[in-house]
Amino acid sequence: MLEKIVEIIVYVISEMNNVRSISEIDIEELHLRGYTDLEISVALSWLTDKLNDIEDNKPIRKPQSEKSFRILHTAEKDLFTTQSWGELLQYHSLGIIDNETIEKIIEKAIMFGRRKIDSQQLKTVIAHIVFYRDKNQNQMNTLMLNKDDLIN
């Protein structure tokens, strides 16, 4: 389920480049893509929390240099499929993850061993990083709903 929520977040952030707010995004398109009301609600709730943090001038993450760019070492290139590395860069460009998170993902990929991280595995790793942040960093943990829970 978390992987689908990451997919929805990517879709909504991409759509926000074309429209001004979340409320203007056509949610019906997400239903047509097969996402459930619960998955859509959790993703939109997470995004709303993050947007509120920005409006309240609470940084979501440390500022980064706009000129910084991660170039993979030769050994690191073998850790990801071409598609998954492209998606990782997309998550970064959309602001879902930062440079530090990319480093954590590369470290996790090294721990996985010699097989390449594919798109689905990458979404799983990103979902766990985004939704289960380290409590010692005083960052908000997102509440996950059960299938019968509602958001009022």
pLDDT tens-digit series, residues 3-52:
898 899 888 888 887 776 777 888 888 999 999 999 998 888 888 887 76
Nearest-angstrom CA–CA distance, 113 and 109: 7
Round to whole Å and give the CA distance between 122 and 127. 8
Per-residue confidence band for 83, with pLDDT thresholds at 50, 70 and 90 = very high
Q: Indicate the SS3 state at residue 8.
A: helix
pLDDT score at 20: 64
DSSP state of 92: H
What mean pLDDT value characterizes the chain? 75
Alpha helices in 1-152 (DSSP H): 2-16, 28-32, 37-55, 74-77, 82-93, 99-112, 119-131
For the cut 50, the answer to whether the pLDDT of residue 138 exceeds it is no
User: Is residue 117 helix, strand or coil?
Assistant: strand
Task: Give the C-alpha separation, 37 to 13, whole Å.
Answer: 18
- Region 98-107: mean pLDDT is 86
What is the pLDDT at residue 135? 39
Q: Tell me the three state secondary structure of residue 136.
A: helix
Looking at residue 141, its pLDDT comes to 41
Q: Which of 82-86, 102-106, 138-142 has the lowest mean pLDDT?
A: 138-142
Locus of tokens 């993979």:
72
